[in-house]
Amino acid sequence: MKIGHQEFDVKNKTYIMAILNVTPDSFSDGGKWNEMDTALGHVEKMIRDGASIIDVGGESTRPGYTKISDDEEIGRVLPVIEAVKQRFDIPVSVDTYKPGVATAAIQAGADLINDIWGLKYDEEMADVIARHQAACCLMHNKDEAVYGDFFRDMLSEVQDCVNIARRAGIADDKIILDPGVGFGKTYEMNLEAIRRLEEFAGLGFPVLLGTSRKSVIGLALDLPAQERLEGTLATTVLAVRAGCAFVRVHDVKENYRAIRMTEAILGK
C-alpha cells in the first residue's frame, strides 16, 4: 500500500501511526502539543522512536466532546501539517470527518484522511478523498451501541463504508479499515472487537487498531488514562498476531519495541 510516496508492506508488517493531538481537550494529552516548537519536537521524537505515520488531530472525539467549526479545526491542523511535511520525510494523516477540513489538509500536504465516521457523517468526504487520490482509514462508528448480532452487524456496517468509498471512486488499495474500539460499543463489545481482529481482517483490507489509553483498558485494569501503557501494549501484541497493518498509539517507543519483539517471535 502506498501512502504519500512511501510503500507499506501491509500483509507482513505492523506499522505505527503516532498520535499528535493539537487540541486543548483530548482525553489523555489535551493541550500538551499546542505550541509549534513543542509539537515538532514531539514529532521528531516519535519518528526517532519508530513512527511511520503522524496522525494530526484538531478536534477531540473523546466521549462528550464539543464539536468545533471547520475554520477552527483548519486553523489548528494546517500549520502543523505544513510544518511536519516541510521538516520530516514521513506521511501525515489528518483525523477528521469533515470534508472541508479534509480538503484543506490534503492541499496542505496530508496524505491520508482518518475518518472516525467511515464516510457516513458526510458522503462528500468520499468525493474529496477520491478526487485527490488520498489514502483513507474508515472507522466503524455509530451513535448508540444497539445491535442485533454485534460482530455480524459491525462487519456489515463497515462493508457499507467500503461501498460508499467504491461508489465515489476510491481505489481498494487506498483503503484501511478500523474496528472503532471505543466508539458506539459497550465494554464487552470493545473486548470482542479486539479478540476477533483476524475475522475483521477477513473483509480484505489492511486493518488499523486504535486502543491507545482508551476506556476499555481503563475499565479492564481500573486505571486512569496516563497509566494504561501496559494494557495498550497487550492489545498491540494481539494486533501483530492478528495481522493488523497499523496501530495508532501515543507511546511510540514502547509499542514499537513490542511490535518488533512479537514479529521476531512470529518469524515476520
Supply the angle between the helices 124-132 and 150-168 in degrees, to the nearest 10.
Answer: 50
Q: Which of 131, 214, 241, 253 is catalytic?
A: 214
CB atoms within 10 A of CB 114: 26
Find, among 119, 198, 102, the residue nearest to 158 by Cα: 119
Q: In the numeric block, which cell numbers belong to residue 247?
A: 496501530
Q: Are 140 and 180 in contact (CB under 8 A)?
A: yes
44 neighbors 74 (Cβ within 8 angstroms): no
Answer yes or no: 214 catalytic: yes
Instruction: Report how far residue 92's alpha carbon sits from residue 76's, in angstroms, rounded to the nearest whole number.
Output: 15
CA–CA dist 130, 128 (Å, integer): 6
Q: Are 119 and 161 in contact (CB under 8 A)?
A: yes
Does residue 166 carry a catalytic annotation? no
Choosing from 120, 174, 228, 248, the catalytic residue is 248
By C-alpha distance, which of 20, 26, 24, 23 is closest to 39? 20
Contacts 24+ apart (CB under 8 A), 227-233: 229/254, 233/258
Count of CA atoms in the C-beta half-sphere (13 A) of 43: 29
- Residue of 36, 3, 2, 41 whose CA lies nearest to 22: 36
Residue 200: helix, strand or coil by DSSP?
A: helix
Q: What is the set of active-site residues?
A: 214, 248
